Amino acid sequence: MGIFESILGHVNDFLWSYILIIVLIGLGLYFTIRTGFVQFRLLPEMFRAVTDKQSYDASGKKGTSSFQAFAISAASRVGTGNMAGVASAVALGGPGALFWMWLIALLGAASGFVESTLAQLYKEKDKNQYRGGPAYYIEKGMKKRWLGIVFAVMITFTYGLVFNSVQSNTVSIAFSSQFNINPIWIAVALTVLVAIVIFGGLKSIANVSQIIVPFMAIIYIGLALIVLALNITAIPDMLVLIFENAFGIREVAGGGFGAAIMLGIKRGLFSNEAGMGAAPNAAATAEVSHPVKQGLVQALGVFFDTILVCSATGFIILSAGGFAGSEEDGIALTQSAFTQMLGEWAGVFIAIAIFLFAFSSILGNYYYGESNLAYIKESKTILFIYRIAALAMVVFGTLASFGLVWSLADVTMALLALINLYAISILFKKANILLKDYMRQRKEGKDPVFYKDTLEDQTGIECWERETEKE
């Protein structure tokens, strides 16, 4: 296991040091500039879109609502990355890692907008719901089914299996640290609960997610605000520390400039998923009147995840001063910081909170795999095998080492993101056309509605017909 983890570490360093960081930041800048800074300019529109009740299909029987699609993607985004991932980044890379998390979120929101708009454009009908995502727009927009299949396999393996082992690993560490519970019992409890929900289907996942995610996020952020209020005079010093460490002005815990950048961007991407190709799978399920609406909703999700939840964790750890040279693994560091700032009860709260975060993330991750397996081939047998494998990886994660599961996640995440970023860079032109169409209608005082005949090239677009075309 040690040799395997070492090999993963070398592959991981190569991918992130020489390829992915350049691509992520470069494309994020490109999309930001070409869309006219859409993620900042249309921030008010994002809040309007997430509560939009109007739908493309008047019967209201197809797809999920914008908010449900937002909740499914948030279920995957808001999880151990926000609590354990941020903690490990700050501990190893120093406070400057937070700055690079913010940067990748601010730029990545533009990538998130593009990928989710494309997912809506190229979605397809599946009985009483919609399916879509990178695999679909790669095949339909780029006419490369083979690459779509490669992506579908990669996201199923990355999210449905590997990322879920990260989630269960964090739960295991949190409960073992706080309650001294044997990881085997944690594996049994978590696996049974996940099995109950995933065998219930997409609607079950959507219903559970839209209840759990807002509830746990509000409480967690609320406690973070209390901690910051108690240490309000220290905030200016924390901000100075973050910016100094971000640019190598002051090295902390031996992390230095390079570690702050790499760990900040790694954990930022793991947490907000902007450009990775995960959120578009949820975005495609929404029933909206214009593809841009769901693109805006998912861009908002990036801000919600990183600027709010990740920052909350980071500030709490800095307030407690527990980042320098910490030997604790991820979530244990967050627990220690909460306990130091609020008392022993806070450690119990974090253990419970991380269980809820991880549980909702496992559900969101699982759905991404299911959706992409359906893209490759509809098969009840394959779906059943996948469900068993997903549950097995939940068990594996509770028993594996912290370093192993995170190294495996980093490698698969990098490969997945490179495929998707290539695809959305090729298809960006259509997303930009849709954005201009949306803005034209908004300026005319209309609630934007899209029809596929707006585009000259309608190849691969199955939905978005005018009513007269359906009859």
Query: What are the boundaries of each domain within the chain?
Result: 2-444
Query: 67-106, pLDDT tens digit by residue?
Result: 776 766 665 566 677 777 787 778 777 788 888 888 888 9
Q: Which of 80-89, 116-125, 446-455 has the lowest mean pLDDT?
A: 80-89
| 143 vs 370, higher pLDDT | 143
Question: In the predicted model, is pLDDT for residue 152 greater than 90?
Answer: yes
Per residue in 212-244, pLDDT tens?
666 777 777 788 788 888 888 888 888 888 888
Between CA 293 and CA 280 the distance in angstroms is 13
Provide the 3-class DSSP secondary structure of residue 64: strand
What pLDDT sits at residue 123? 92
DSSP, collapsed to helix, strand or coil, labels residue 131 as: strand
pLDDT over 80 (residue 270): no
Is the distance from CB of 213 to CB of 50 less than 8 angstroms? no
Q: Which residue has the tokens 């974090």?
A: 350
Give the pLDDT score at 37: 95
Q: Contact, 260 vs 99, CB < 8 A?
A: yes
Asked if residue 39 lies in contact with residue 32, where contact means CB atoms within 8 angstroms, the answer is: yes
* pTM, rounded to two decimals: 0.84
Contact 380, 261 (CB under 8 A): no
Q: Which range (116-125, 265-274, 280-289, 438-447) has the least confidence?
A: 265-274
For residue range 107-116, what is the model confidence (pLDDT) as tens digits? 999 999 999 9
CATH architecture of the domain covering 2-444: Up-down Bundle (1.20)
What tokens does 26 get? Answer: 């470069």
Q: Nearest-CA neighbor of 151 among 421, 435, 443, 431? A: 421
